[in-house]
Structure 1
């Protein structure tokens, strides 16, 4: 279904053990991207920025689900990736696509979570709430992405028009 390839993390100085991201966010009409600092407090900031961006695009109907899934994937990246993380949100023709890039090449692992388990439900959430999701290896780690269907056709919203 997905014909486009997820972008790789930006090139980095080969003298540095980890890639680095520019500090300023890249924002456009149809996508936005932010670096995520390696600090658990970043999850709240990213949730706020994600919700604000979706409201700016007139996609507030997707805020709760997107916020939950982005939080889950950012938390996992902070827990398992040793270096920089980046969130990119894109509006595609009929979908919202969220991409989390990190420096750990290992794909998300499916676990069996019991009712008492505090973790291990990320892939279950992605399966239940998304249109599609996957993890793609990159030269510096991986990109885990998911798509959600837009609540209305792109041409019906002035926020989404080119």
Structure 2
């Protein structure tokens, strides 16, 4: 299907995730394969790390379904992880000896932008990366 003249091409992919022992590993594989398919291999390591952080948190703290969605539009790659938990990521300093809590620091350092959208059924945590300098 071709895009109407003057409109930006939008590429998207979305997967329901089955929480379990291999969920995070499979999610990294799905995300990096999709990014490579969109000729954005230069973003693969960052996508893999950040998606892994978000999915790990969702699987660890959520009793229900999780979904990963990737969208490329207008020079940005947007990655979303949707779950049924209502608690939002906490921004702020993490104790040096803490076992977790560094996900938001990684998002702050590596993502062009990120946030959390509360929904009636849970939340979506998202991040965006600039694709202009990483196209193959």
TM-score higher than 0.5: yes
- State the Cα RMSD in Å: 1.7
Residue 42 of structure 2 corresponds to 61
Q: Distance in 2 between matches of 1:129 and 1:88?
A: 19
List per-residue Cα deviations over 1:94-127 (Å, max 9, x = no partner). 1000000000011112353233322110110011
Aligned residues: 127
Q: Secondary structure at the match of 1:147?
A: strand
Verify: 1:112 aligned to 2:93, yes or no.
Answer: yes
- Structure 2, unaligned runs of 5 or more: 1-9
Report runs of 4+ in structure 1 exceeding 4 Å deviation: none
How far apart are residue 39 of structure 1 and its match?
1.0
Higher strand residue share: 2
Match of residue 76 from structure 1 = 57
CA–CA separation in structure 2 for the residues paired with 1:106 and 1:143: 11
Matched, 1:125 2:106: yes
Aligned counterparts of 1:40 and 1:116: Cα–Cα separation in 2:
26
The structure that is helix-richer by fraction is 2
